[in-house]
Structure 1
C-alpha cells in the first residue's frame, strides 16, 4: 500500500473586502495625535471542492485618540489552497496556521497602504504567531466540549 502524496499549494491570493473609515477627520488632524491601536484577527475556512479550501484572514485595526475613533480599517485577505494527502488534524493545522501565515503579509501591506492614504502615520502591524492562536482556539474548543 502506497501513501498518498502530500500537496500544499496556493492557487490564488486576493483581497476579498476592504473598508477604511476616518469618521472624525479633518478635526482630528488638528489635534495632538497620540493613538491607541487595537487589532482583531479572525480566520475562516471552508472546503469549496475536493482538497480545495478557501481561507479568509480578517484584520480589523481600530485606532482611537481619547474617546474618538481616528480610523477603522478592515481587510479581508483570502486565498484558495490545495491540501491533499493530509489527515483531518493536519488539514486543520494547515488551515489554521500555514494558510493565514501565507495571507498575513498581504493583509499587513494593504492595512499599511490604506492607513497612509487616509492621511495617518504609517501603521506596520506586528508579526502574528498563528500557531499560538491556533492552539489557544483548540484548547478553548476542548474546554467547551468538556462542559
Structure 2
C-alpha cells in the first residue's frame, strides 16, 4: 500500500476508454416506394434490423477501430414488398488502456459499440424521417448477447 492508501497496482489497472474519432464509413438509403411506387391497400411495415460488429488494432499503441454495420429492411407485412432499405457502417477510433489482453476482444465489441450506438440511432432516425417515412427509433441493443451470438456463430463455422 502506498502512503495515501491507494494500491499502486490497482491504480495502474484502471481502465481508460476515450473516443478519439467517430465517422460514417458507408451509408445507403433506398426509398423503394418513391422509386417504384406502391400498389395495394394499407401499408403495415415489418422492420428487420441486422447488426454486425468488427474491431481491429490500429498501428498506434492502445488505439482500436470498431465498426458497427446495420442493415435495416422495411417491408409491407401484407405482400412483403420492400418499402425502404438502409445500410450504415459507423466507426469509432478508441484509445483503450488498462484492459487485460484476455478481456480486450469482448471489451471492444461490447463497450465500444455502447458508446457509438446513440449516434447511430440518431442517424437512422434522421435518415428515415428525411427519406419520407416516420422516424425510426432503434430499440436498445444488448451488446453482450450480440457478442455471444457472434462468438457462437464463429465457433459453429470452425
Same fold (TM over 0.5): yes
1:94 to 1:30, Cα distance in 2 relative to 1, 3 A: same
Structure 2 gaps of 5+ residues are: 1-7
Q: Report which of the two structures shows the higher radius of gyration computed on alpha carbons.
A: 2
Partner of residue 117, structure 1? 130
Unaligned 5+ residue runs, structure 1?
Answer: none
Alignment-derived partner of residue 41 in structure 1: 51
Taking structure 1 as the reference length, the TM-score comes to: 0.86
Mapped partners of 1:56, 1:29: distance in 2: 37
Q: CA deviation at 1:85?
A: 2.4
State the Cα deviation string for residues 73-131 of structure 1 (Å, max 9, x = none): 11111100011222222211211100011111111111111111111112111100001
Rounded to whole Å, the distance in 2 between the matches of 1:137 and 1:70 is: 28
Is 1:19 aligned to residue 32 of structure 2?
A: no
Name the counterpart of 1:59.
70
Q: When the two structures are aligned, how many residues end up with a matched partner? A: 144
Q: 1:51 to 1:34 in 2, by over 3 A?
A: same
Deviation at 1:30, TM superposition (A): 7.8
- The answer on 1:32 being equivalent to 2:42 is yes
TM-score when normalising by structure 2? 0.81
Aligned counterparts of 1:28 and 1:105: Cα–Cα separation in 2: 32
RMSD: 2.1
Asked whether the 8 Å contact 1:24–1:68 carries over to 2, the reply is no
1:8 aligned partner: 17
> CA–CA distance in 1 between the matches of 2:144 and 2:88?
21
Q: Structure 1 residues 125, 29: closer, same or farther in 2, change over 3 A? A: farther
Q: 1:88 to 1:144 in 2, by over 3 A?
A: farther
